[in-house]
Amino acid sequence: MIHALLVQGLQMALVLAIAPLVTGFVRVVKARLLRRRGPPLLQPYFDLARLARKEAVLAQNASWLFRAAPYLIFAATWVAAALVPTFATGLVFSWTADLIAITALLGSARFFLALAGMDVGTSFGGLGASREVMIASLAEPALIMIVFTLALVAGSTQLSTVAEHMLSAHVGLRVSLGLALIGLTMVAIAENARIPIDNPATHLELTMVHEAMVLEYSGRHLALIELAASLKLTLYLSLIACVFLPWGLAPAGAAPAVLALGMLAYGAKLALGGALLGLFETVIAKMRVFRVPDFLGAALMLGLLGTLLLFVSRSF
Amino acid sequence: MPALFNVLASGRIRPDHRPWLRAEVDAALWCALAQQLAEGRWTLLGLWGDAGAVHMALLDATGGAVGVASLACADGTFPSVGRLHAPAQRLERTITDLFGLTPVDAPDTRPWLDHGRWPVSRPLAARPGAPEAAPYAFLPVEGEGLHEVAVGPVHAGIIEPGHFRFTANGEAVVRLEERLGYVHRGVEGLMAGASVAQGAALAGRVCGDSTVAYALAFARAVEAALGVAAPERAQWLRGLMAELERLANHIGDIGAVCNDAAFPRLLAPCAVLREQVLRAAEAGFGQRMMKDRIVPGGVTADLAPAGAARIRALVSTARAALPELISIYDGTASLQDRTAGTGFARPDLVARFGCGGFVGRASGRGFDARRVLPYAPYDALTFAVPVLDGGDVNARVWVRIKEVEQSLGLVTQMLDRMPEGPLGVDLPVPGAPCEGLALVEGFRGDVLAFVRLDAEGRIARCHLRDPSWFQWPVLEAAIEGNIIADFPLCNKSFNCAYAGVDL
């Protein structure tokens, strides 16, 4: 019990500590691919520190919701990120929370972000919120379908169980898991406002989705939202790593040496995921807003197909 | 004799106007010209005010001739051209803002440049008035489910200021209305009474990315007024600078258009190539943007052999780099999906507005001042004017790509055949008022310069007309039916000037 609590605490601190690093790493990868030197790896930390020191400027008509939303968004995302086994399974929380809970936590974070975007009443906030909800209305069902696929394979929606099942010898190569991996990657790209759905580096207010909703935020509020966005990216990378690359995950009650090995493996997985994301974002242009439903519709179909295949036969 | 000159000949022809023709016309002929403009017989090149008069520059495309009609406004009014020919409307509103002359029966009487924040109103009129601030009414749009999105003049990125008022139904744009004038610096007021040298410096600062085109247009207008010609070597060096400017801007634009589709993979190599052009320009002429290198009478910087070698090296670098850039552009399906079919500029609108540059040439209007009204050194050089009829963002990118290839050829030809000789001539003192007009092809399109000098050779009136005057309104039409999120891409593919229009 104490071991599980320790691992859980370590994991919560770890995701929070490395989330900005993941964002910074993706930025460096993209810059290097474009032959730019790019910002320092630790720049997101400097940005957060700078924002935290700055005064938070609020619009005159901002309601309590606008001030509360950053804390709610950050808390929900952090909890969700803490539920994903990063370097070790056997977390304290994992018996009460699972993939569906993670989906719900992220959904409520987005709900508050969209509300906050509309709260001040600027046209960009409304524009961003409407686009975000359009994307979410397709991304969430797709994620749920993928969760069902995994649950049918592993017999549980609980991530530690899924990871342990994936490590066992009798999983093998499965069509449904391949579909789920592609679908989950597509959802992750959409959920994290990456190219081709959204451009995290854009300065064109008319094309923004995520950035348009947070345009009115400043100071510590913006720092929390930025940190939550980094956490979300880390969460999705960890989720894909945990389900599809579970090697190196320390089992429950493992010795410190095994835990350290798990951390090393986790770092390597994040680096691989970040590098692939940077590469993918470099070779593709952003798609038209109204093509997004096609993209996410494909993810939804993949999830659905995976589930249906498993109903036909458990061997797919 | 071109048909336009026959029509203008019934007015009083000014003997002191060069190189084409300016006639003082009566109100009846003015209205007839406006009617013929609306019928598509001429293309409007410019409409500008003066002390108690208005001037209208017309292009007779079939005859390759430019004529100016001038109407004295005895009671401070003149018959509206915009009433019959929409491209004149913003120009008329500008005349009212600057000179207080009123177009009669104008369809749009709102101010354009004057936002009520100047210390005086009608600053160029004989008697300026007190500032007048009135709320600006945007055009009304009615319908169910419509909402307005106001963008700018301060943007999230560091770009020039302009206000865009979208009326949208969800994401679909129903109407876009532009409001410009935020960077009005009063260039025409500063020009009045300035020496020719000061005027050349001012003209080079109207629009930073077109400094060569503006300085060239101004210099050619002054030289036309004084009846002198720059020495041959100076003319060729000017041509070389103009093509380097075109190269730098087109290459930069190709990357920037792609970047607005979130595709920095082309922005990065294009930015590198553009930087190489600017460095070659610095090596050749001592200044990256070649600012203040062209003056009336000639040029101030000679091209050293080392500089020429540097520019030659640039041409071979660019020729080597281009095929790969083109294949990335053409071979990326996700990028083509964004540019093809987006922001269609209708050929009939483009022809009516007389859009120059890549906006016109991507929609089938093949006008190029270097070809239609050839000036040295282009009359002695071989080049093609690429014309496409796609009219979308993709076509505007392709026109730029093809023009880059043509400009590289022009640079090589000019370096090969660069004549020797002096760099400038001394400008004579005119002794009597005189005036000149020039039309020069900048990277955006044709820049018009009208200069009138007084007897001592100081500038009495100078008007510089940016090509974007006739491109901005077409952008409003091109975005209709597109989605809001595609506007930055369309806007970048037009790349209209803010400073050049706000003047």
Domain shared by B100 and B216, yes or no: no
ipTM of the complex: 0.85
Containing B174, the helix (H) or strand (E) segment is strand B172-179
Region B480-489: mean pLDDT is 89
pLDDT top residue among A28 and A166: A28
Among residues B10, B14, B15, which one has the least CA distance to residue B26?
B10
Q: Which residues of A touch B485 (CB under 8 A)?
A: 131, 206-207, 288-289
Q: Which two tokens stand for residue A22?
A: 């993941």
Q: Say what the pLDDT of residue B2 is.
A: 79
Domain presence at residue B328: yes
Cβ–Cβ under 8 Å, residues B419 and B410: no
Domain presence at residue B207: yes
Domain presence at residue B139: no
In this structure, what CATH number is given to the domain that contains residue B58?
3.30.460.80
Chain B residue with CA closest to A200: the answer is B262
Q: Is the per-residue pLDDT at A167 higher than 90?
A: no
Domain shared by B274 and B404, yes or no: yes
User: What whole-number distance in Å separates Cα of residue A175 and Cα of residue A167?
Assistant: 17
Q: Is the per-residue pLDDT at A91 higher than 80?
A: no
Domain presence at residue B125: no
Domain shared by B97 and B205, yes or no: no
Q: Which residues of A touch B264 (CB under 8 A)?
A: 30, 34, 201, 282
Q: Say what the pLDDT of residue A203 is.
A: 81
Domain shared by B192 and B85, yes or no: no
Q: Say what the pLDDT of residue B204 is.
A: 94
CB count within 10 Å of CB B106 equals 20
Q: Say what the pLDDT of residue B132 is.
A: 81
Q: Which residues of B touch A33 (CB under 8 A)?
A: 265
Q: What is the pLDDT of residues B227-256, one digit of tens each?
A: 999 999 999 999 999 999 999 999 999 999
User: What whole-number distance in Å separates Cα of residue B433 and Cα of residue B449?
Assistant: 17
In this structure, what CATH number is given to the domain that contains residue B296?
1.10.645.10
Domain presence at residue B110: no
pLDDT top residue among A91 and B206: B206
User: What whole-number distance in Å separates Cα of residue B30 and Cα of residue A292?
Assistant: 54
The C-alpha of B354 sits at a distance from chain A's nearest C-alpha, in angstroms, of 29
Average pLDDT of the residues of chain A:
90
Contacting B with CB below 8 Å, chain A residues are 30, 33-36, 123-124, 127, 130-131, 195-196, 199, 201-208, 211, 215, 282-291
Q: Which of B104, B139, B167 is the last residue of a domain?
A: B104
Domain shared by B82 and B204, yes or no: no
Q: Of A221-230, B21-30, B51-60, B129-138, give the lowest mean pLDDT range.
A: B129-138
Domain presence at residue B310: yes
- Number of compact structural domains in chain B: 2
Q: Say what the pLDDT of residue A204 is.
A: 83
Q: Which of B74, B104, B134 is the last residue of a domain?
A: B104
Sign of CA dihedral B202, B203, B207, B208: negative
pLDDT-derived band at A4 (thresholds 50, 70, 90) equals confident
Are B485 and A206 inside 8 Å of each other by CB?
yes
Are A207 and B338 inside 8 Å of each other by CB?
no
Domain shared by B244 and B390, yes or no: yes
Q: Which of B78, B104, B130 is the last residue of a domain?
A: B104
Domain presence at residue B167: no
Among residues B27, B29, B21, B31, which one has the least CA distance to residue B67?
B21
Contacting residues for B494 by C-beta, under 8 A, at least 6 apart:
B343, B359, B396, B471, B472, B474, B475, B478
At B460, give phi and psi (nearest 5°). Answer: -90, -40
pLDDT-derived band at B64 (thresholds 50, 70, 90) equals confident
Cβ–Cβ under 8 Å, residues B129 and B121: yes
DSSP state letters, chain A: -HHHHHHHHHHHHHHHHHHHHHHHHHHHHHHHHTT---S-TTHHHHHHHHHHHSPPP--TT--HHHHHHHHHHHHHHHHHHHHS-SSBS--SGGGT--HHHHHHHHHHHHHHHHHHHHHS--HHHHHHHHHHHHHHHHHHHHHHHHHHHHHHHHS-S-HHHHHHHHHSTT----HHHHHHHHHHHHHHHHHTT-TTT--TT---GGG-SHHHHTTT--HHHHHHHHHHHHHHHHHHHHHHHHHH--TTPBPTT--HHHHHHHHHHHHHHHHHHHHHHHHHHHH-PPPPGGGHHHHHHHHHHHHHHHHHHHHH-TT-
Domain shared by B97 and B198, yes or no: no
Q: Say what the pLDDT of residue B61 is.
A: 77
Q: What is the pLDDT of residues B270-304, one digit of tens each?
A: 999 999 999 999 999 999 999 999 999 999 989 98
Boundaries of domain holding B14: 3-104
Distances (CA, A) of B166 to A125, B12, B86, B154, B410: 15, 46, 20, 15, 41
pLDDT-derived band at A254 (thresholds 50, 70, 90) equals confident
Q: Is the per-residue pLDDT at A224 higher than 90?
A: yes
Domain presence at residue B19: yes
Domain shared by B194 and B76, yes or no: no
Region A96-123: mean pLDDT is 90
Q: Say what the pLDDT of residue B242 is.
A: 95
Average pLDDT of the residues of chain B:
92
Distances (CA, A) of B74 to B231, B360, B462: 42, 37, 21
Q: What is the pLDDT of residues A13-55, one digit of tens each?
A: 999 999 999 999 999 999 999 988 989 999 999 999 999 999 9
Q: Say what the pLDDT of residue B304 is.
A: 84
Q: Which residues of A touch B261 (CB under 8 A)?
A: 285-286
User: What whole-number distance in Å separates Cα of residue B216 and Cα of residue B441?
Assistant: 9
pLDDT-derived band at A207 (thresholds 50, 70, 90) equals confident
